[in-house]
């Protein structure tokens, strides 16, 4: 902690202590002083000070908060001693947010005697600046003041309405006050159970204000306040019967949680009993806007508004568009307020105004909205755009007000097309040869007949076909994907590729054998392709090199695959006969025998295709 | 062999007969279509002539006939709106213009006449948030065609991505672009679907008031002129829950016609 010091002119100054004797001297002389030590950047700093609650019973504690805005560090600050009030620092906290950084110093204030305790006012010298801290008064009630507490309500609610009856469409604050005795702990969430008119009355979102302490019937209460912007859409008297639901924390359960022998659950909040609290019914009278003095151009805007206009370009030719920008800003029913707009005149054609930019929330109490309107001069005699007036009803003054903007001088040159012919230029469009029409102050003439008439219901009639085509595309894509994957696999996996090729090569050689049989019926000519069929098939099937395929190996593989005794015998006979015919050339087989062998080999190969080798 | 030859000749003869029949059918269809088109063009021309000669009920009937015959095209609806406007039926005119605008959202003539009619009726056209306004600035058919094109281009890009790995440096970003375009088209189609689910409705009769509930004795919230465009949120019996600006309430179903 930094000691403090007060100067003769009553001004407080912050400085870094250098000698203990000097600090001791300062502490002994002045009580209403405190000293800051600064290691802060040299820039304007905002410091706020608050104490809550400011009404309390003896034995309760208040909390003081000293906040340095826009800084990343702050010195320890020691408050001067105040008779009957003990001030203890509890720490500091740094926060970063969209509004910048800030450092909060917190203190507990323990009143030691009843009465009024005054803190401040202070003047801080901070980096060469003088910052005023307002005076804060703390009212402390003696315990005897709580005599009637037992007869008071523990929790109750009230609704606060504006002092003056609001006008229709006037935005006003609606505050729900929730009172609870200091010893009653409430859950953080509070639910609104309704009680506002369902129609003719618009209530925005509620926001909770700072909790304060208030005295009611001689008893202090913690007061939680919930504020919303409200607006009546019709005049008359509304019955407001709001009710709240809030959880009351059970102190017994809280004690159980502190039981050192129990299991502590860090994620379980305090158990709360929901309690419904209804505010006393209140009647809100909404006044209608007076007829007397109502301007002719009044369009229902209620509040306080500013109206500004901009006109560009101001030097142009007949037929060229002028963009008129109207900006409305203020507090009130901004969402439904409409700025004035130009209407068609002899000298110019005016199109509808269009709202641009952000649209204010209907529940917003203030904001801005911008409209753009396109105006096209019909003649070069147009020297200015006249002023526009915006009228609104000011509920604070209970009278109508009118603001205006303009007139706006213009320099309009004759059109290059001659005369004062006006080409239709729709806002946002481009006037081309085919899209331009000579326009009067009327609707655009009929359109010519369509180039193509619909026949048979158009797209709707073909919808199933179109949908089917689109639905087929993913399947085609999936087919392509799998085909590509298979192609890539065959390109990289030689064994698989040869396995796939085996039946094809066997069939090709069998066809050659058939052809040889038809031509000559010579056993050698038939058995050569037959042997090639068998060798190629098993070579590809077993992924063997060309010279490695021989009868014993094939017979071993077939035996291991358990193709059966008969088939094995047939294969052995085929290999024996094949070698005999091909190398010895001594066998004489008839055409029928050759056909039989051809069929047998084909059958044996089919059978071999079905077994796992 | 002889029998087979006879059978083959019979088949050829049968195919020729079938081919000639198809040609005849196609010719009949081709002749029939121009007849329908001629009828539509004649009705359109008659209605336009009636409009020019200020025989407005006949003009309205002519354009209505075309619209009811499946020819709900921007030109027909626009001219129908003009005929209604001239005839003093502001609600019907705004309905026809709005329907035309739904089919041709960026047509400057439709926009101008709708604005003119709205100004005459003393109403403000509903404002939309910028994104919805952009999406509705293209018709449903345009979004569907755009989406279909994006779909097939995406299909081709994916096919190239799968089938031609060497060109993936091109096909991959293209696929991403087409996928984004497809999503945009789906968003546009969704905006129109939203308009179909909770359509706009035009107030067709005068002196209507939005009521706080679906009862004739409910509290009036807002007076709406003929031609006002509201959003139809729900239907309960003979009442329609509506939204106009920030006002939610109920209107009699008989007083509203949806913009479809």
B39 in A contact zone (CB under 8 Å): no
The answer on A191 and A155 residing in a single domain is yes
pLDDT one-digit tens code per residue, A309-321: 999 888 888 877 8
The region of weakest confidence among A26-30, A479-483, B246-250 is A26-30
CA distances from A244 to A208, A213, A224, A241 (A): 13, 19, 12, 10
Two tokens, residue A145: 């003041």
Residue A36 has pLDDT above 50, yes or no: no
Q: A206 to chain B nearest CA, in Å?
A: 19
In a shared domain, residues B116 and B1? yes
State the pLDDT at residue A27: 42
Residue finishing a domain among B68, B98, B123: B123
CB contact under 8 A, B48 and A446: yes
Whether residues A156 and A282 share a domain: the answer is yes
Interface of A with B in 92-121 (CB under 8 A): none
Asked whether residue B115 falls in the same domain as residue B5, the answer is yes
A248 shares its domain with A317: no
8 Å CB contact of B159 and A480: yes
Q: Nearest CB to A199: which of B51, B129, B212?
A: B212
Looking at the fold, whether A137 and A161 belong to one and the same domain comes out as no
Q: For residues B103 and B209, state if they share a domain.
A: no
Instruction: Establish if B47 belongs to a structural domain.
Output: yes
Q: Give the pLDDT band (50/70/90) at residue B13.
A: low
Residue A298 CA to residue A309 CA, distance in Å, equals 18
- Let me know whether A67 and A36 are in one domain: yes
Is A444 part of a structural domain of the chain? no
Q: Is residue A39 part of a domain?
A: yes
Confidence of residue A421 (pLDDT cuts 50, 70, 90): very low
CB pair distance less than 8 Å for B71 and A355: no
d(CA A381, CA B43): 45
Give how far A306 is from chain B: nearest CA, Å.
22
The CA dihedral of A462, A467, A470, A471, to the nearest 10 degrees, is: -140
B195 falls within a domain: no
Please tell me whether residues B88 and B9 are part of one structural domain.
Answer: yes
Å from B207 to nearest chain A CA? Answer: 18
Residue A156 lies in a domain: yes
Position A512 in a domain = yes
CATH number at residue A369: 2.60.40
Test mutation, B246, B248, B250, chain A, max A CBs within 10 A:
B246
Are the CB atoms for B205 and B195 separated by under 8 Å? no
What dihedral do alpha carbons B107, B110, B115, B118 form, nearest 10°?
Answer: -150
Q: Is residue A473 part of a domain?
A: no
Considering the domain architecture, whether residues B68 and B134 belong to the same structural domain is answered as no
Task: Give yes or no: residues B32 and B85 share one domain.
Answer: yes
Kindly state whether residue A170 falls inside one of the protein's structural domains.
yes
Is B48–A457 a contact, with Cβ atoms under 8 angstroms apart?
A: no
Q: How would DSSP label each residue in chain B?
A: -HHHHHHHHHHHHHHHHHHHHHHHHHHHHHHHHHHHHHHHHHHHHHHHHHHHTT-HHHHHHHHHHHHHTT---HHHHHHHHHHHHHTT-HHHHHHHHHHHHHHSTT-HHHHHHHHHHHHHHT--PPP--HHHHHHHTS-HHHHHHHHHHHHHHHHHHHHHHHH-GGGHHHHHHHHHHHHHHHHHHHHHHHHHHHHHHS-EEEE-SSSEEEESSSSTTSPEEEEE-TT-EEEEEEEETTEEEEEETTEEEEEEGGGEEE--
Gap between the Cα atoms of A572 and A566, Å rounded: 10
Is the domain of B118 the same as that of B30? yes
Asked whether residue B16 falls in the same domain as residue B82, the answer is yes
What CATH number corresponds to the domain at position B209? 2.30.30.40
Q: Who has greater pLDDT, A200 or B52? A: B52
Which segment of A228-242, A356-370, B104-118, B187-201 scores lowest on mean pLDDT? A356-370
ipTM of the complex: 0.80
All residues at 6 or more sequence positions from A206 whose CB lies less than 8 Å from its CB, including other chains: A176, A192, A226, A227, A228
Lowest mean pLDDT among A110-124, A501-515, A524-538: A110-124
Q: Are residues B23 and B101 in the same domain?
A: yes
- Whether A351 is covered by a domain: the verdict is yes
Residues A277 and A339 placed together within one structural domain of the fold: no
Separation CA A346–CA A163 (nearest Å): 50
Reply yes or no on whether the pLDDT at B180 is more than 90. Answer: yes
Q: Which domain holds residue A319?
A: 304-413
B37 domain residue, yes or no: yes
A40 and A127 within one domain: yes
**Domain identity same for B159 and B244:** no
Give yes or no: residues B7 and B35 share one domain.
yes
Specify if B194 maps to a domain: no
Tens of pLDDT, residues A433-490: 333 333 335 788 888 889 888 876 555 667 888 889 889 989 999 999 999 998 888 8
- Identify whether B183 is part of a domain: yes
Structural domain of B69: 1-123
At A8 the pLDDT is 35
Interface of A with B in 405-424 (CB under 8 A): 424
Q: Would you call A454 and B73 a contact, using CB atoms and an 8 Å cutoff?
A: yes
Window 49-78 of B: residues touching A by CB (8 A cutoff) are 51, 70-71, 73-76, 78
Give burial (CB, 10 Å; 0-12/13-18/19+) of A269. exposed
| Counted domains in chain A | 4
Q: Are residues B154 and B183 in the same domain?
A: yes
Strand A55-57 relative to strand A136-141: parallel, antiparallel, unpaired?
A: parallel
| A96 in a structural domain | yes
pLDDT tens, position by position, B45-83: 999 999 988 899 999 999 999 999 989 999 999 999 999
Q: How many domains would you assign to chain B? A: 3
């Amino acid at each position: 902690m930094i000691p403090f010091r007060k100067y003769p002119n009553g001004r407080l100054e912050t400085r870094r202590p250098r000698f203990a004797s000097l600090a001791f001297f300062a502490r002994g002389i002045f009580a209403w002083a405190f000293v800051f030590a600064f290691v802060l950047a040299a820039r304007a700093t905002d410091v706020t000070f608050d104490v809550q609650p400011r009404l309390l019973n003896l034995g309760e504690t208040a909390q003081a908060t000293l906040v340095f805005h826009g800084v990343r560090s702050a010195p320890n600050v020691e408050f001067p001693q105040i008779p009957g009030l003990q001030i203890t620092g509890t720490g500091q906290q740094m926060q970063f947010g969209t509004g910048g950084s800030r450092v909060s110093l917190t203190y507990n204030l323990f009143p030691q005697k009843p009465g009024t305790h005054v803190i401040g006012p202070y003047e801080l010298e901070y980096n060469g600046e003088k910052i005023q801290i307002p005076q804060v008064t703390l009212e402390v009630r003696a315990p005897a003041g709580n005599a009637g507490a037992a007869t008071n309500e523990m929790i109750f609610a009230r609704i606060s309405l504006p002092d003056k009856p609001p006008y229709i469409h006037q935005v006003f604050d609606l505050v729900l006050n929730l009172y609870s005795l200091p010893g009653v702990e409430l859950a953080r969430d509070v639910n609104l159970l309704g009680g506002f008119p369902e129609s003719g009355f618009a209530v925005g979102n509620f926001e909770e204000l700072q909790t304060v302490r208030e005295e009611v019937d001689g008893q202090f209460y913690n007061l939680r306040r919930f504020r919303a912007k409200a607006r009546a859409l019709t005049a008359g008297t509304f019955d407001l019967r709001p009710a709240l639901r809030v959880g009351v924390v059970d102190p017994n359960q809280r004690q159980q949680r502190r039981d050192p022998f129990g299991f502590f659950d860090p994620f379980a909040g305090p158990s709360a009993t929901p309690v419904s609290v209804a505010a006393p019914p209140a009647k809100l009278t909404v006044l209608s806007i007076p007829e007397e003095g109502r301007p002719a151009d009044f369009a229902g805007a209620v509040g306080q508004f500013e109206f500004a206009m901009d006109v560009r370009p101001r030097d142009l030719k007949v037929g060229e568009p002028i963009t008129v920008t109207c900006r409305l800003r203020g507090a009130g029913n901004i969402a439904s307020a409409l700025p004035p707009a130009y209407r068609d005149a002899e000298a110019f054609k005016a199109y509808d105004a269009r709202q641009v930019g952000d649209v204010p929330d209907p529940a917003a109490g203030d904001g801005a909205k911008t409209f753009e309107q396109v105006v096209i001069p019909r003649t070069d005699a147009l020297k200015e755009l006249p002023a526009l007036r915006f009228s609104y009803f000011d509920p604070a003054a209970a009278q109508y007000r009118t603001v205006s903007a303009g007139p706006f001088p213009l320099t309009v040159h004759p059109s290059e097309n001659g005369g004062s012919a006006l080409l239709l230029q729709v806002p946002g469009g481009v006037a081309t040869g085919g899209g331009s029409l000579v326009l009067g102050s009327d609707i655009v003439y009929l359109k010519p007949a369509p180039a193509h008439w619909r026949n048979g219901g158009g797209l709707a009639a073909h919808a199933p076909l179109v949908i089917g085509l689109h639905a087929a595309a993913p399947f085609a894509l999936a087919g392509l994907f799998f085909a590509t994957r298979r192609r890539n696999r065959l390109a990289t996996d030689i064994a698989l590729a040869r396995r796939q090729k085996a039946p094809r090569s066997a069939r090709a050689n069998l066809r050659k054998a058939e052809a040889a049989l038809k031509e000559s019926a010579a056993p050698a000519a038939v058995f050569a392709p037959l042997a090639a069929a068998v060798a190629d098939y098993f070579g590809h099937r077993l992924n063997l090199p060309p010279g490695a395929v021989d009868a014993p190996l094939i017979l071993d593989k077939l035996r291991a695959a358990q193709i059966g005794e008969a088939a094995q015998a047939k294969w052995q006979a085929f290999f024996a006969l094949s070698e005999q015919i091909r190398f010895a050339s001594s066998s004489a087989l008839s055409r029928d025998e050759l056909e039989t062998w051809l069929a047998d080999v084909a059958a044996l190969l089919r059978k071999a295709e079905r077994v796992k080798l | 062999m002889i029998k087979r030859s006879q059978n083959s000749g019979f088949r050829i003869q049968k195919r020729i007969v079938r081919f000639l029949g198809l040609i005849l059918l196609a010719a009949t269809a081709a002749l029939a279509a121009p007849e329908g088109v001629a009828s539509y063009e004649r009705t359109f021309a008659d209605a336009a002539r009636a409009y020019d000669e200020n025989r407005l009920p006949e003009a309205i009937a002519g354009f209505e006939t075309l619209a009811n015959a499946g020819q709900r095209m921007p030109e027909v609806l626009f001219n129908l709106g003009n005929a209604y406007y001239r005839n003093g039926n502001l609600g019907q005119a705004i309905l026809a213009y709005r329907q035309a605008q739904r089919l041709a959202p960026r047509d400057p003539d439709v926009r101008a006449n709708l604005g003119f009619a709205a100004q005459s009726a003393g109403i403000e056209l509903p404002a939309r948030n910028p994104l919805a306004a952009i999406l509705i600035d293209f018709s449903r058919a345009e979004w569907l065609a755009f989406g279909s094109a994006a779909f097939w281009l995406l299909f081709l890009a994916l096919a190239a991505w799968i089938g031609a790995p060497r060109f993936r440096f091109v096909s991959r970003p293209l696929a991403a672009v087409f996928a984004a375009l497809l999503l945009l088209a789906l968003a546009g189609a969704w905006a129109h679907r939203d308009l179909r689910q909770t359509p706009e409705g035009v107030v067709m009769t005068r002196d209507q008031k939005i009521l706080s509930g679906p009862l004739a004795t409910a509290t009036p919230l807002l007076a709406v002129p003929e031609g006002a465009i509201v959003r139809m949120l729900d239907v309960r019996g003979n009442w329609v829950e509506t939204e106009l600006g920030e006002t939610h309430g109920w209107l009699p179903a008989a007083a509203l016609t949806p913009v479809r």
